[in-house]
Amino acid sequence: MKSRVLLKEKAVHGTALIPIAIHHLSYRQNTGNFFYLHWHDEFEFVAVLEGAMIYTIEEKEYTVRAGEGLFIHSNKLHAARAYMGLPCEACVVLFHPGLFGSTHSPTYSKFLQPFLKGELNLCPNITPAEEWQQTILRLILEMDSFRKENFIENELLIKSRIFEMWHLCYQHAEAAQALKDKKNYKLERLEPVIDYIHNNYREEISLESLTGLLPMSEGQFCHTFKDVIGMSPIAYVIRHRILQSCSLLTQTDWKISEVARITGFNNISYFNREFKKSIGCSPGAYRKES
């Protein structure tokens, strides 16, 4: 999808010699989006120090509270916003896969390639409940303290923390097939609903019409859908419509009201509001920037 290409982050993280970035973030109460919908080549680790935030990674949402963290895989679309308007403080560590050497090096092939190829997966949530995840949170905070000092002088210390974190991630990663098997039966049951949404997003879609596609009660359906997809069925419909509108905004010169209508939004104000919440700017600004 062309819109995905346009959502690639333009900011450069680190340098060619030290492809690492450490950001300390602090947001006041009732701040809107922290990070607008984007993706980048770097892997990203987040540790929330105060408050809470909601991350959207591809089609799933994660609430991250103080003392918890999150892992975001390379090349994954993600965004972050305030949780119930709470103030928030967090540390973000990003590193490029090239930190592990060239793509042909043994280290890269053994420890990075399986993740990039989707052979190994890591659960995004990082909580103090697991000792190894506690260690990752501690290492993120240690790197956060280094940002106040000379980054170059602490290069080896910072790299050693990242390598230790990745060592733990590699040890506790799960084979993609094992994860797939866990939810495969639920995904198969939801396929008619996903197909229906993708084929009929231009039309009016109600929760009742989606529930009617499966032999489930409305409560069971909503619970199963959110468990597998990470958001409610109607939130998924809206997100799919927004992503389709991104393509039309960049590939056509149709009026914004027409783009809204074609992608299933009968109310232009509602479209503008949902677009800004998902993408981080108005449809007009998105078209102009693209």
Opening angle at CA 164, ends 161 and 167, nearest 5: 150
Q: Which residue has the higher pLDDT, 207 or 180?
A: 207
pLDDT at 264 over 80: yes
CA–CA dist 144, 147 (Å, integer): 6
What pLDDT does 119 receive? 85
Taking the C-alpha atoms of residue 44 and residue 77, their distance in angstroms, rounded to an integer, is 12
- What tens digit of pLDDT does each residue of 34-59 get? 777 889 999 999 999 999 998 989 87
- pLDDT value of position 20: 94
In angstroms, the Cα distances linking 242 to 94, 110, 264, 275 are 27, 38, 9, 6
Q: Distance between CA atoms of 209 and 150, rounded to whole angstroms? A: 59
pTM beyond 0.75: no
Residue whose entry in the numeric block shows the structure tokens 């929330």:
48
- Would you say residue 181 has pLDDT above 60? no
Q: Is 224 left (phi over 0), alpha (psi -120 to 50) or beta?
A: alpha
pLDDT given for residue 1 in this prediction: 44
Highest mean pLDDT among 6-15, 159-168, 177-186: 159-168
φ and ψ at residue 275, rounded to 5 degrees: -65, -45
Of 7-11, 104-108, 259-263, the range with the highest mean pLDDT is 259-263
| Residue 63 vs residue 9, higher pLDDT | 63
Given this model, what pLDDT does residue 15 score? 83
In degrees and rounded to multiples of 5, residue 56 shows phi and psi of -110, 120
Alpha carbons 47 and 65: distance in angstroms, whole number: 9
Query: CA 41, CA 73: separation in Å to the nearest integer?
Result: 9
Q: Residue 206: what pLDDT?
A: 94
**Residue bearing tokens 């056509």:** 252
* pLDDT at residue 229 greater than cutoff 90: no
Q: How far apart are the C-alpha atoms of 47 and 71, rounded to whole Å?
A: 9
- CATH superfamily entry for domain 178-289: Homeodomain-like (1.10.10.60)
The reported pLDDT for the residue numbered 79 is 87
What is the H or E stretch that residue 178 is in?
helix 176-200
CA distance 86 to 238: 25
**Helices vs. strands in the chain: H and E counts, helices first:** 12, 10
Quick one: pLDDT at residue 111?
A: 93
**Domain positions in the chain:** 2-172, 178-289
The beta strands (E) that lie in the chain are given as 20-27, 33-38, 43-57, 60-65, 69-72, 78-82, 88-95, 120-121, 125-126, 174-175
pLDDT of residue 32: 67
Domain 2-172, CATH number (from 1.10.10.10, 2.60.40.10, 2.60.120.280, 3.90.400.10): 2.60.120.280
The predicted pLDDT at position 33 comes to: 65
- pLDDT by residue (tens digit) across 159-174? 999 999 999 999 999 8
147-151, 155-159, 210-214, 252-256: the lowest-pLDDT one: 147-151
Strands (E), 58-185: 60-65, 69-72, 78-82, 88-95, 120-121, 125-126, 174-175
Distance from the Cα of residue 149 to its chain's centroid = 30
* pLDDT at residue number 2: 46
- Please give the residue that has the higher pLDDT: either 36 or 68: 68
pLDDT at 147: 77
Q: Which two tokens stand for residue 140?
A: 């993120």
Q: Is the pLDDT of residue 289 over 80?
A: no
Query: CB 133: neighbour CB atoms within 10 A?
Result: 20
At position 230, the amino acid (one-letter code) is: G
